[in-house]
Structure 1
Amino acid sequence: MSTTILSYIQLQIIRYATPIILILGNLGNICIIISFSRRRQSSCAMYLLFNALFNSFYLTFNVSLSLYGLYYGNPTSSNLILCKCRYYLSQTWNQTATTFAILACIDRFALVTRHKYLQLINKSFICRIIIGITCISWHTLLIPTLFFVTIENRSCTFIGIYYLIYSIYIAIFLSLIPPILMIIFGLLSYHNMTQLHTRIRPMMSNDIVIIHRRDRQLFLLVLAQAIVYVLTIFPYPFIVLEVTITNQMGIQKSVQWIQIENFLSIIGVVLTYISCATPFYTYFVASKTFRKDFLNSFTQCQHQ
């Protein structure tokens, strides 16, 4: 495939695919926020709500910059403040959203575990504290990013070796640790969830059964989102890592090699956008209860 074709496909992806992802993603995330805002007593629902909120922040900021750069030139190559904010806010919001997805997995495991202290995570007041700590922590921990980013040769990039450090960081904290944690707690939750039928007895009230079913449906939502996350996020950090390492080694790259790297980078970025845009549609397909509740809420809004 010639470099001209790759460049053309890359351009069309940015021009047509990313706006669709932005619109559908924000629409879906808004639906999640509205749906789960009515279930504030559920810790898992609140984690998923804040996951959707920060997914929208990340999606809107990055896609808007990409589209603006396509038509008017990359603003981060001339504005140092925007250049620094691009890396800082992107990583902060992405990591915050990812952490809430992990917390949702841990929450489902805590629900079906016998450890009393771990079950405290399911308490609404503990959930609020964890949400606050998560937001403050990531917005604080990634502040050093602001000092390591600058504009060189009309390109917004990291200073010296810090780009290699950044590439290793996103490979570990985006592609390795989150999927591993999601898989571990997902499998543990599934193992314990299969034994949940022992909680239900014929003498129990219908309310308890309904609560149990909703908890089980939340587990399905979390598991489905974890699978989509692993499939969409995994490639991108390693693409960035390959580009960074080969550049640091001073390897002479052909024009075709560079074009292929750029093309794969765009594909990786778009997959990241898809990961932030698809939770609502994943929930809608995976969970009958979520689908039914959402359609009922939508019908009620129409009649009001």
Structure 2
Amino acid sequence: MSTNNTYATTLLAATPYLTLIIDLITFVIGTTGSVCNLIIFTAPRLRRNACVFYLLCATVFQLITIIFIVPIRLASNNFGSNLDNQSIIYCKIRYYLAITLPESATYYILLSIMDRCLATSTNVGIRAWSNLKVAYRMSVGVLIFIFIANIQLIVFFTIYNNSCQIKPDSFETFYGPSYILILAMIIPYTLMLILSLKTYFQMKKIKQRIAPVSNSSNHTQTSRFESQIIMIILLQIIVTSTLLLIRVVSYAYTIFTSDNFNKTLTERAIENFIVQSSSSLYFFSFAISFYVSTLTSKYFRDIFKKRIGHLYRHCRKQ
């Protein structure tokens, strides 16, 4: 028993240090990477691409998430801030934005792969939907939908037992996590999987049809760009969905078993470790977009180098 208690105590003590390290890394590399992504996605040669516009929107919400959510987590978990347990308004707004902001980034990534699916269609009418005018409207529509659909979270979260949470033993205890799971994970990532597979087969069909006819450099460059941007999106989907799954499952388990008073100290320590670390890793997934794109795509590396060179020369002229 004493060994278990020692293990639990050690784990409880180590958890804040681990989350502190992850959150600090997320804030530093996430802010830097998001700014670099903004530099890439606003390049003149990419501004007219609807898919890149969606990725630009996703980057903006990733940056807002990192700047807004991560410092709050740092203050709450490591520097004694308990404002969310004292102010019900702060409690509600914090968790509403903590769910809505990263969810918005996720749906913009969904729109980016949807655009690639439209752009690679063999149907001319379907391909016509891949344009900036549609992208502007879709981006606004999705944003309004997400912010309205999550308003109920403001109602669900409250201060209970000196903690900002969904009240246990209530309808919201089961409905809230289930709703978040469906809207934030099942729907977008299922659609991403379907659209990714469809895009892959469409691109394969296009290559088989065009390759024997045309070997022009323009076609080769366009095909390479399409392949690289789809690869970047898919890597983001894989990383984010994996870390989101861990977070959602651990969070749902905590909510559904919150009325179980028979948990041992070790079980509670392990549960706390998984919940806290998975939450930190989930936000970390929004910090690596730039590094994924530059490591996997020479095209984006070249654009970034040229943009940095241009900005440097511009600053020297000032």
- What is the count of residue pairs matched by the alignment? 303
One-letter amino acid of the counterpart of residue 301, structure 1 = L
Partner of 2:87: 79
Post-superposition offset of 1:265: 0.3
Is the Cα–Cα contact under 8 Å of residues 22 and 281 in structure 2 kept in the other structure?
A: no
Is the Cα–Cα contact under 8 Å of residues 76 and 83 in structure 1 kept in the other structure?
A: yes
Instruction: Report the 3-state secondary structure (helix = DSSP H, G, I; strand = E; otherwise coil) of the residue aligned with 2:122.
Output: coil
- Counterparts in 2 of 1:157-196, with a 5 A limit? 157-159=165-167, 160-196=170-206
Pair 1:210 & 2:221 matched: yes
One-letter amino acid of the counterpart of residue 242, structure 1 = Y
Q: Which one is further off, 286-295 or 196-205?
A: 196-205
Q: What is the RMSD computed on CA atoms of the aligned residues?
A: 2.0
One-letter amino acid of the counterpart of residue 27, structure 2 = L
Q: Which of the residues 33, 45, 54 maps onto 1:28?
A: 33
Pair 1:48 & 2:58 matched: no
Partner of 2:232: 221
Q: Which of the residues 297, 300, 303 maps onto 1:290?
A: 300
Q: Which one is further off, 175-184 or 54-63?
A: 175-184
1:205-257: CA deviation from partner (whole Å, max 9, x where unpaired) = 64454334322321121122112122221111111111122224x45212221
Alpha-carbon distance between aligned partners in 1 of 2:127 and 2:203, rounded to the nearest angstrom: 15
Q: Which of the residues 250, 255, 264 maps onto 1:244?
A: 255
1:60-119: CA deviation from partner (whole Å, max 9, x where unpaired) = 222111111221322211111110111111221122111111111111111111234432
Instruction: Report the 3-state secondary structure (helix = DSSP H, G, I; strand = E; otherwise coil) of the residue aligned with 1:113.
Output: coil
Alpha-carbon distance between aligned partners in 2 of 1:85 and 1:120, rounded to the nearest angstrom: 40
Q: Which of the residues 106, 118, 140 maps onto 2:114?
A: 106
Is the Cα–Cα contact under 8 Å of residues 96 and 138 in structure 1 kept in the other structure?
A: yes
Is the Cα–Cα contact under 8 Å of residues 12 and 273 in structure 2 kept in the other structure?
A: yes
One-letter amino acid of the counterpart of residue 296, structure 1 = K
One-letter amino acid of the counterpart of residue 275, structure 2 = S
Is the Cα–Cα contact under 8 Å of residues 174 and 237 in structure 1 kept in the other structure?
A: no
Unaligned runs of 5+ in 1: none
Is the Cα–Cα contact under 8 Å of residues 173 and 256 in structure 2 kept in the other structure?
A: no
Alpha-carbon distance between aligned partners in 1 of 2:51 and 2:212, rounded to the nearest angstrom: 24
Q: Which of the residues 5, 11, 19 maps onto 1:6?
A: 11
Unaligned runs of 5+ in 2: none
Structure with greater contact order relative to length (CA < 8 Å, sep ≥ 6): 2
Alpha-carbon distance between aligned partners in 2 of 1:87 and 1:120, rounded to the nearest angstrom: 39
Instruction: Report the 3-state secondary structure (helix = DSSP H, G, I; strand = E; otherwise coil) of the residue aligned with 1:41.
Output: coil
Is the Cα–Cα contact under 8 Å of residues 200 and 209 in structure 1 kept in the other structure?
A: no
Check 1:65–1:163 CA distance in 2 against 1; reply closer, same or farther (3 A cut): farther
1:258-278: CA deviation from partner (whole Å, max 9, x where unpaired) = 111110001210221121111
Check 1:242–1:203 CA distance in 2 against 1; reply closer, same or farther (3 A cut): closer
Is the Cα–Cα contact under 8 Å of residues 122 and 202 in structure 2 kept in the other structure?
A: no
One-letter amino acid of the counterpart of residue 214, structure 1 = F
Check 1:27–1:121 CA distance in 2 against 1; reply closer, same or farther (3 A cut): farther
Is the Cα–Cα contact under 8 Å of residues 243 and 261 in structure 1 kept in the other structure?
A: yes
Post-superposition offset of 1:170: 2.5
Is the Cα–Cα contact under 8 Å of residues 84 and 146 in structure 1 kept in the other structure?
A: yes
Partner of 2:158: 150
Ranges of 4+ aligned residues in structure 1 off by more than 4 Å: 200-209
Post-superposition offset of 1:283: 0.7
Partner of 2:123: 115
Alpha-carbon distance between aligned partners in 1 of 2:73 and 2:272, rounded to the nearest angstrom: 14
